[in-house]
Structure 1
Amino acid sequence: MKQIGNLVACWWRDKRAISMLSTNAPPEMGTAQRRTKDGPVEKHIPESVLVYNANTGGVDRHDQLRSYYPIGRKSHKWWRCCLWFLLEVAALNAYILYQQMPRPPGAPKPLDHFQFHLQIAKSLMKGSSRKRNYREATAVAGLAVEGTSVEHRRVRLAGRKKQCYMCKQKDVRTASNKRPETVFGCSLCNTHLCDELCFNQFHAKLN
């Protein structure tokens, strides 16, 4: 076992090896009775495992409810899967707290699980910024530098790879059925464009 702050990491082997992270159990060993052919015996078990075993019904129920309305989609990037999981847990915990809220007499019927998720989605969409219009953005950028020596150049842009704007417009896909991503684009427009063809086509549309 190892502890960093409030987080306890535990690796333990009973019938099989298990790994566990916990924030609600000390890095200590507890005891539990196990039945054997010679009668009950006491066995030393990590406290985090004892807490999990005592509440495993709630954990399984939580996993079941979380599976009804999953957030996100499959991804090869591990951090996205962690993000989807945390969002699902937060949404479900919010629904559980919502159900436990006291309601005055005559209050409307509480939302069910699906309606609650739908309400969250609608609330998140309210006041969201509109989709970026690349034509407007690049046209304004072009006007801002008119009469100067600044030119549109295809360069390596800062940050991660992003989908090529023109390939996305033309729905071009790779052999693995993914849209091309690139770190290159226009230095002035700050738009990702994968090659010279897309670069020229993009700026031809602006003119």
Structure 2
Amino acid sequence: MPLLQRLLDFGLYACGTVRVNRVGFPKDLKKPRELTNRGDFKILQHGDTNLTATVWKDMRLIHHMSTLSDPCDTRDAQRRFGREVLQLRQPHTVFAYNKFMGGVDLHDQFRAKYSVGSCSKKWWKYLFWFCLNCAIVNAHIVYKAVLTRPTKRKRFTQLEFRQELLRSLIGGFSKRKRTTGGVVFKPLVDTENISGHVNVRMPGARTT
């Protein structure tokens, strides 16, 4: 709740689900007894601001917080129960969240599928791996949008992108020590003079 208020002060609107044990969430919305039927909801508004807390009963209780919805605005919702189609009412907060949540959920799904790094209790390590994974996912999205690949496959999966990314980053690196110090020497015999010759073993004792 303090975060949403802070964002609203900067002119940034937000909407999303919330856990009922979060600091500042109204106690009256945690487990309201009056919401017995599917489609029932309850909304609380913080003063005269746009900050609202909402609980809506679908199959279970769903809690939202928003700074972009009118608390008096409700929308139609359809839910299927067996062969029967139920006509319900839902707050605008729930409607806006279900309409625009796809991008964030897909990004989290892509990020969790091939996550890089390991869990850590140190916040800076978690932040570092989180930003790195987000950068890889964003690069894959941009890569698919702007690049035309000469391949017969219609899809270019994230795994294929990560494999190409690793090949590009690793390049010709090798863990083995190079005695030449990375300098490439010219061969003693030119490759064009090798054709037509046959390697044979010379007679006599081998000398060093």
TM-score greater than 0.5 by the shorter chain? no
Higher Rg of the two aligned structures: 2
Higher relative contact order, chain-length normalized (CA < 8 Å, sep 6+): 2
TM-score, scaled to structure 1? 0.41
Which structure has greater helix proportion? 1
TM-score, scaled to structure 2? 0.41
